[in-house]
Chains A and B, each alone.
Chain A
Amino acid sequence: MHKEDQPLIFELSTPGRVGYSLPEMDVSETDLSELLPEGFLREEEPELPEASELDIMRHYTALSKRNHGVDSGFYPLGSCTMKYNPKMNENVARFNGFAHLHPLQDESSVQGALELMYDLQEHLIEITGMDEVTLQPAAGAHGEWTGLMMIRAFHEANGDHNRTKVIVPDSAHGTNPASATVAGFETITVKSDENGLVDLKDLKKVVGEDTAALMLTNPNTLGLFEENILEMAEIVHGAGGKLYYDGANLNAVMSKARPGDMGFDVVHLNLHKTFTGPHGGGGPGSGPVGVKADLIPFLPKPIVTKQDGVYKFDYDRPQSIGRVKPFYGNFGINVRAYTYIRTMGPDGLKAVTEYAVLNANYMMRRLAEYYDLPFNRHCKHEFVLSGKRQKKLGVRTLDIAKRLLDFGYHPPTIYFPLNVEEAIMIEPTETESKETLDAFIDVMIQIAKEAEENPEVVQEAPHSTVVGRLDETTAARKPILRYQKAE
């Protein structure tokens, strides 16, 4: 990585330079004052950069070198499933017949795209054990909200207007309670027990006639399988509520247990996690939602259907919650996920889960000697360590994360889930080799030793990155959210 500051593109701008080649203006032009009403012709030019193509390419290349991706090195960011993003997917998504289609052109001219969507729906139905799937939601949180809106519509259609509460475990992703709020529900938290699983007694206490749904990740955010899932389903269903599956952790159970068979009524998937849509620096994702039969009428519209070999958008869905997104979802990400599923096949997806879980357990067991392991049992695709032993030595989990940067690693997720003190959440994924895991484990062990023998080196990390620890307090107190040209 380069140590010097990288100027902003605005600081590299020189009047008179261009980086574009627009098509010829081959029609007769009319004076703009005749075409626009008075006061509508922009007077001040937007301060956009002026740079040549090479200067632009160098700028972004320099920025890319100041960024760490899965292709740069190990990225064990728990709960995010940072697995390899196959290059083939990128090529397929760029085919003109996928990348350059208009969402509103005649259905007869997009049969290939509809076929892909339909077949992806079918594959996801089988993988989740649900009865129907919509591809419309743009990301996981969007899928959560979509699923909850369907659950709300379901209860309302039954005249059940008092089901205003959504139950969420204390270990849940932050999006779960936020999605519930945005969908008009009140959130109730259910506690975890000493084994890191949902406390059934507490669950029984909080369910009732006002329960709309329980949102659950299984395995949960501690990487532990909720063994009592059938009892939980019985409790929630018995009270008239629905069971919602947060599919963020599906990588842990493919071909081993399907949400549909565990009693879930609604499930969202993060195609950018389990199914290799690249994370893109924060997005785009794709968050399809699957439902059981009784919720099908409420799916967002349209849904892709097939009749006599012809694919169609079905808009005739009177009970639908409506549209959750213009057009049909993040098609480009869906193309990548479809390519991946077809690349892996049934045996491949099974191996994915098995190796993801093997990798996680191997790391967990090797690290358990050096870091506190709050729940001593087999994990699934990820596990959570606690840095409390190191904290006593004055080294916080944040410091450990920053020290990992010096060795070229992206740190694990930290301080999540909230029910583990000084949490370090590690998800290796199945695409990492044993050598990679061993090298990372060695570094984690070295840092544990440094915490005992030479804590400053950890506390003051990172030492080798292009910038050191940044002043986040000032950033929030006196926000500078855009570049301003110096006067």
Chain B
Amino acid sequence: MKHRYLPLTESDKNAMLESIGVSTIDELFSDIPEKVRFAGEYKIKPAKPETALMKELAQMAAKNADLKMNSSFIGAGVYDHYIPVIVDHVLSRSEFYTAYTPYQPEISQGELQAIFEFQTMICELTGMEVANSSMYDGGTALAEAAMLSAGHTRRKKILISSAVHPEYKDVVRSYAKGQYIDVVEVPHKDGVTDLEALKEQTNDEVAAVIVQYPNFFGRIESMKEIEEIAHENKSLFVVSSNPLALGALTPPGKFGADIVAGDAQPFGIPTAFGGPHCGYFAVSGKLMRKVPGRLVGQTKDDQGRRGFVLTLQAREQHIRRDKATSNICSNQALNALAASVAMTALGKKGVREMAVANIQKAHYAKKAFKENGFDIAFEGPSFNEFVVKLNKPVKEVNQKLLEKGIIGGYDLGRDDSALVNHMLVAVTELRTKEEIDTFVKEMGDINA
């Protein structure tokens, strides 16, 4: 058949068949037993020409209310942020996106160097010594952190704050089941991890204490106290962090974290209905050889020129096979590149400026809600999210907001029946004063 992705012509085919010594392509499939052979064609939609399919898919996309045509106040782990235009231009260099894992370093120096730069930037933001080349996402990165902790400490229990993202907790539980690890939740009190409860629950069987910073409710955890409790029992202190927040907040490394894992989506990666995003994984130096996934290291070639290679591969599945502690192979390299370009464009000053803008705009919005008679739950220092109490179900409010071109916040009642009618609101640097004022006013009208 003729198709723009398939170059073989009839005469090519004939010449090739002759060279092989068969008369039909079918003969090449003669080793497939009759009984399992699929007869005919798939019952799937027929092929469509380029323009017609583009149109159909554009119409499908247009059925969705996207964040660019609407005003978004939803976050909960995925955020609508400034993406420097340059990011997509770099990603569109097809030498990057049509390459695979840089197994042949001599012709993959571009990708390897870009990853080395990414690793450095993640170390800088988190205050950690070693970062890998990326994980699938923040949730699976946290699950790998839990598994690393269990393996390293030879303990089978994980304490995880209930103020960690509910879907991250779910993923940690799924992975823990595979490894026969117990996951115990530490309750939160007024939106932050309950230190008294944590003290009671912890003991020398605990492999790791996991908190999120800033946490799921946007609040800032008592990092110093939690670190002390974790390390007193020789448990690892594992922190899930929004790396953008670390442009303004003291990094977890400064608080003695052993592992920092999270998602770099706030840097240059579109929300994309939940993925692909970009997990990152950073550790203190002593855990370097236990990091899951790929690591890029600097070295020299035979003439002394600087070069980069995949290194410490003895940790990885393709070498260790059933002795491997992680099975990750493909990662999120292209999204790590996106994050690198965004972090580069923002640079030292921009990362802080953007993080501070999130704090300021969210604070302004929080104040506006209060001034308009709303109660704020879990009041206290926060990054770019806070919790508003409503008189009505969040779903109902959100559906009305949609009619006004506003995508409202996250329904906390989905995960916790004590939090029905509580909306987790996110305000990023992209929201203008006007958008925030309109949002607060519309919420007031709907909630009345």
Contact = CB atoms under 8 A, between A and B. Distances in A.
Whether chain B is bound by chain A comes out as: yes
A361 B124 contact: no
State the 10 A-B residue pairs at the shortest beta-carbon distance, nearest first: A327-B274, A345-B47, A97-B61, A103-B274, A280-B334, A112-B63, A67-B110, A282-B333, A69-B98, A178-B317
A70 B332 contact: no
Contacts of A361: 16, 20, 22, 28
Interface string A325-346: 1111111110000010111111
23 contacts: A22-B353, A26-B434, A27-B364, A42-B247, A46-B251, A49-B344, A68-B99, A77-B103, A102-B407, A112-B62, A123-B45, A182-B179, A187-B321, A227-B32, A256-B37, A321-B174, A323-B167, A357-B25, A358-B17, A469-B106, A470-B105, A470-B309, A482-B119
A400 interface: no
Interface stretch (B73-81, B153-161, B204-212): B73-81
Nearest to B323: A181
Interface stretch (B127-135, B193-201, B230-238, B371-379): B127-135
Tier of interface size on chain B = 35 or more
Contacts of B223: 40
Given A72-B95, A480-B298, A258 B38 contact: yes
Contacts of B101: 279, 281-282
A324 B223 CA distance: 28
Given A60-B93, A140-B329, A182-B327, A82 B307 contact: no
Contacts of A181: 322-325, 327
A63 B32 contact: no
A307 interface: no
B276 A284 contact: yes
A321 B84 CA distance: 39
Contacts of B131: 481-482
A72 B249 CA distance: 42
Interface in B318-347: 318-335, 337, 341, 343-347
B92 interface: yes
B357 A434 contact: no
B19 to A, nearest CB: 6
Interface in B56-78: 56-69, 72, 74, 76-78
B301 to A, nearest CB: 4
A90 B312 contact: no
Interface of A (DSSP majority class): loop
Interface residues of A, number: 202
Contact of A343 (B47, B251, B305): B47
Contacts of B328: 139, 141-142
A282 B297 CA distance: 16
A453 B39 CA distance: 50
B50 interface: yes
Given A123-B45, A480-B299, A483-B117, 17 more contacts: A22-B354, A35-B360, A41-B248, A69-B98, A95-B58, A102-B80, A111-B64, A174-B319, A177-B317, A281-B115, A283-B136, A300-B174, A322-B173, A339-B57, A378-B29, A476-B297, A481-B116
Interface in A338-363: 339, 341-352, 354-355, 357-359, 361-362
A349 B138 CA distance: 35
Contacts of B319: 174
Interface string A127-146: 10100000000111110110
Interface in B35-62: 35-38, 41-48, 50, 53-54, 56-62
B350 A66 contact: no
B134 A283 contact: yes
